[in-house]
């Protein structure tokens, strides 16, 4: 069984965190205003944009004490609209484009490119058994994500979104383990390219009251990656810079990308599902439910 994934730096002697606890810790707001311009949320690229399909915001500032409002030029949907799902689909697709440059009034960073700090994936026990650490991450292409379907059950505070994205994930990396029984090690810069990744995200919750306004308290978040057409990777400086061995290993990983992705996918779903749960809770704590869905 794969060890829990972590997405924040931890001391070497610290006890391991569960995936959910790690993700929750990563999603906590910065400790001071001076840190508010640095993202403390670590997200896998496709997951990141599909979360934006749901919440349409990525917070980098501490939660506001007073209720906030969505920007006036954002599309809003009527709760009683018989075509609510279609309206919501258009509203979120429009929000993705607007988020490319960030929304300072809501403490939203630019999503294209999206700058992230770190991500760590624990070693599995299958044919792909590798410890991977990523840092100084840059994700490109998120603003081109496509929302394919939305479903809203507002009476039960349940939303569901299907979306697709093709993007690049660039980072510094450290790797150690085995791929198809062959040892692999290295550290340097890497690029992972994902083609047409499709996923479903389902935030669920309940109503709570604050200062006379009702809010969506997100109590559950289910993330399911449905399919990926292709993943291509390139890791620089494998085997301490041995170009021949490095080229061979990159070719091997690309020829067997489905095996590699099969090992990584459950960890991504678990860790980032927990991250998105914490982020969506923070979003809906800022904006009242009736300011998102109009009467």
List of domains in the chain: 19-294 (3.15.10.30)
Phi, psi dihedrals of residue 2, rounded to the nearest 5°: -70, 135
Residue-level pLDDT at 148:
93
Residues contacting 57, CB < 8 A, separation 6+: 99, 103, 106, 108, 283
Residue 2 has a pLDDT of: 44
Could you give the angle at the alpha carbon of 75 between the alpha carbons of 74 and 76, nearest 5°? 115
- Work out the burial of residue 209: count CB atoms within 10 Å of its CB; fewer than 13 is exposed, 13-18 middle, 19 or more buried: exposed
CA 186 to chain CA centroid, Å, is: 25
pTM above 0.85, yes or no: no
Task: Report pLDDT for 106.
Answer: 66
Q: Specify whether the CB–CB gap between 263 and 126 falls below 8 A.
A: yes
The runs of H, that is alpha helices, within the chain are: 19-26, 45-55, 84-98, 243-255, 257-286, 289-292
- Spans in the chain with pLDDT lower than 70: 1-67, 105-108, 123-124, 267, 271-276, 279
């Amino acid at each position: 069984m794969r060890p829990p994934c972590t997405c924040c730096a931890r001391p070497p002697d610290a006890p391991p965190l569960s995936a959910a606890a790690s993700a929750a810790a990563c999603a906590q707001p910065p400790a001071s205003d001076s840190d508010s311009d640095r993202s403390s949320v670590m997200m896998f690229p496709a997951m990141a944009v599909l979360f934006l399909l749901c919440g349409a915001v990525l917070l980098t500032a501490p939660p506001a004490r007073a209720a906030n409002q969505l920007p006036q030029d954002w599309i809003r949907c009527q709760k009683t609209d018989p075509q609510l799902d279609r309206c919501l689909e258009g509203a979120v697709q429009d929000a993705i484009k607007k988020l490319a440059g960030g929304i300072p009034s809501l403490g939203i960073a630019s999503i294209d490119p999206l700058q992230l700090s770190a991500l760590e994936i624990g070693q599995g026990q299958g044919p792909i058994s590798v410890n991977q650490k990523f840092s100084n991450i840059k994700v490109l292409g998120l603003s081109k994500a496509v929302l394919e379907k939305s479903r809203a059950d507002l009476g039960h505070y349940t939303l569901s979104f299907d979306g697709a994205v093709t993007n690049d994930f660039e980072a510094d990396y450290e790797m150690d383990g085995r791929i198809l029984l062959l040892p692999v090690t290295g550290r340097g810069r890497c690029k992972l390219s994902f083609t047409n990744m499709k996923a479903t995200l389902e935030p669920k919750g309940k109503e709570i009251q604050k200062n006379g306004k009702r809010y969506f308290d997100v109590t559950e978040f289910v993330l399911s990656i449905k399919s990926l057409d292709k993943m291509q990777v390139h890791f620089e400086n494998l085997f301490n810079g041995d170009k021949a061995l490095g080229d061979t290993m990159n070719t091997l990983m690309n020829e067997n990308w489905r095996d590699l992705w099969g090992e990584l996918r459950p960890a991504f779903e678990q860790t980032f599902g927990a991250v998105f749960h914490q982020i969506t809770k923070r979003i809906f704590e800022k904006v009242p439910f009736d300011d998102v869905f109009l009467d």
